[in-house]
Amino acid sequence: MKSRAAVAFQPNAPLEIVDVDLEGPKAGEVLVQIKATGVCHTDAYTLSGADPEGLFPAILGHEGGGVVVEVGAGVTSLKPGDHVIPLYIPECGQCNFCESGKTNLCQSIRVTQGQGLMPDGTSRFSYQGKPLHHYMGTSTFSEYTVLPEISLAKVNKQAPLEKVCLLGCGITTGIGAVLNTAKVEPGSTVAIFGLGGIGLSAIQGAVMAKAGRIIAVDINPEKFEMAQQLGATDCVNPKDHSVPIQEVLIEMTDGGVDYSFECVGNVGLMRAALESCHKGWGTSVIIGVAGAGEEIATRPFQLVTGRTWKGTAFGGVKGRSELPGIVDDFMAGKIQIDPMISYQLSLDEINKAFELMHAGKSIRSVISF
């Protein structure tokens, strides 16, 4: 079949909107009509060419919502008409990672997904007879896409796909980092570094965890109004201070925060976030994805004296078993998505979504098909 898609033919160039060819689902696969997709920082990172694992030509996009059109042989958990959110971290339930119960990092299709291919080692997408790479196992910048059954979460049909698509990455990651990875306790003091879609969602998570104090940190003061609306109790711009931000936070909190979250991808800020934590018990969670080859550093004594450094992918959320409940939390009014949607655009306008992101003018743009 034909599918209208935004194709990244080469790094650092605008996406091109073309009609690609899409093969139907093979065994264990599902054809999905994507109704809406967010445009995330990680798509921009790959498109920029800075991602060493980035493959071209490819159909990017990993923050989608859609409807099942057709299922391949052996698919039992989904049927045409089901509403789904694609998962860039699948959940097979059978690999040793899934069976451990300790992680959401299912490894069952890790190798082929990283190669931009379906689990059988081939692509379903092609253009003018040449294969196109899948991206993150999802490729949501296409009106139709094929995914493994284990890479789809079935969600409430009443949930608006043009909103809950954002639960496919950014919002879930920020909230999950607080609730699952850090397990913030009521009354805790929390610092959030970086107030994009991830950091603002971490603020939502901190409110849900009933944190006592939520300190929002950003070098762009225009971010503070939204942070406060979502529940930040304090806003700090490192540029307003002559001493390092960790010293500012330690002073503000009489010894440091209980939990900090790095939501930027800056290794210097990761260090500052760790060193903002309280001696003896503070925990810092890295969410931001740093540039290829970059390394983190701190004095080991920071850890010897009781601070913990952690990281999280997709907020530790197990997509198939836990994301449907997060969609239900949104439907019950426990999670805010509307403030995260800065622009609603058509597929033809997708390059504008990247421009708005780079200009710092959007939290998320949502593309509707």
**116 scored as a contact of ligand NAD (CB under 6 A):** no
**95 scored as a contact of Zn ion (CB under 5 A):** yes
Q: Please report how close the Cβ of residue 30 comes to ligand NAD at its closest, in angstroms.
A: 23
How many whole angstroms separate alpha carbon 21 and alpha carbon 128? 8
- Which DSSP letter does residue 318 get? -
**319 scored as a contact of ligand NAD (CB under 6 A):** no
**32 scored as a contact of ligand NAD (CB under 6 A):** no
Strand 83-86 vs strand 63-71: parallel, antiparallel, or unpaired? antiparallel
**40 scored as a contact of Zn ion (CB under 5 A):** yes
Q: What residue type is 117 in one-letter code?
A: L
Burial class (CB in 10 A: 0-12, 13-18, 19+), 127: middle
Residues in contact with ligand NAD, total (CB under 6 A)?
A: 31
Of residues 7 and 356, the one with the C-beta less far from ligand NAD: 356
Of positions 57, 119, 168, 170, contacts ligand NAD by CB under 6 A: 170
Q: Please report how close the Cβ of residue 66 comes to Zn ion at its closest, in angstroms.
A: 16
Q: Where are the alpha helices (DSSP H) in the chain?
A: 41-48, 96-100, 110-114, 161-164, 170-176, 197-208, 224-230, 245-252, 267-275, 301-304, 319-331, 350-358
**209 scored as a contact of ligand NAD (CB under 6 A):** no
- Which DSSP letter does residue 264 get? S
Q: Please report how close the Cβ of residue 291 comes to ligand DAO at its closest, in angstroms.
A: 13
Contact region with Zn ion (CB under 5 A), list: 37-45, 51-59, 79-87, 294-302: 37-45
Burial class (CB in 10 A: 0-12, 13-18, 19+), 304: exposed
Contact region with Zn ion (CB under 5 A), list: 53-61, 103-111, 233-241, 279-287: 103-111
To the query of whether residue 62 is one of the catalytic residues in this protein, the response is yes
Of positions 28, 57, 168, 197, contacts ligand NAD by CB under 6 A: 197
How many whole angstroms separate alpha carbon 94 and alpha carbon 155? 22
Tell me if 285 sits within 8 A of 255, measured CB to CB: no
Q: Please report how close the Cβ of residue 167 comes to ligand DAO at its closest, in angstroms.
A: 13
Of positions 67, 95, 219, 267, contacts ligand NAD by CB under 6 A: 219
Of residues 68 and 198, the one with the C-beta less far from ligand NAD: 198
Strand 213-217 vs strand 234-236: parallel, antiparallel, or unpaired? parallel
Tell me if 9 sits within 8 A of 56, measured CB to CB: yes
Tell me if 38 sits within 8 A of 181, measured CB to CB: no
Of residues 207 and 264, the one with the C-beta less far from ligand NAD: 264
308 binds, among ligand NAD, Zn ion, ligand DAO, none (CB under 5 to 8 A by kind): none
Angle, alpha carbons 204-206-208 (nearest 5°) = 70
Question: What tokens does 214 get?
Answer: 């939520």
Question: What tokens does 295 get?
Answer: 């390394």
**257 scored as a contact of Zn ion (CB under 5 A):** no
How many whole angstroms separate alpha carbon 113 and alpha carbon 134? 8
Residue appearing with tokens 């059109």: 69
Contact region with ligand NAD (CB under 6 A), list: 53-61, 95-103, 212-220, 321-329: 212-220
To the query of whether residue 165 is one of the catalytic residues in this protein, the response is no
Of positions 116, 194, 256, 324, contacts ligand NAD by CB under 6 A: 194
By annotation, the residues acting in catalysis are 40-42, 62-63, 92, 95, 98, 106, 110, 169, 364
For binding to Zn ion (CB under 5 A), which residues are involved? 40, 42, 92, 95, 98, 106, 108, 169
For binding to ligand NAD (CB under 6 A), which residues are involved? 40-42, 45, 169-170, 173, 193-199, 217-220, 223, 238, 263-266, 269, 287-289, 312-314
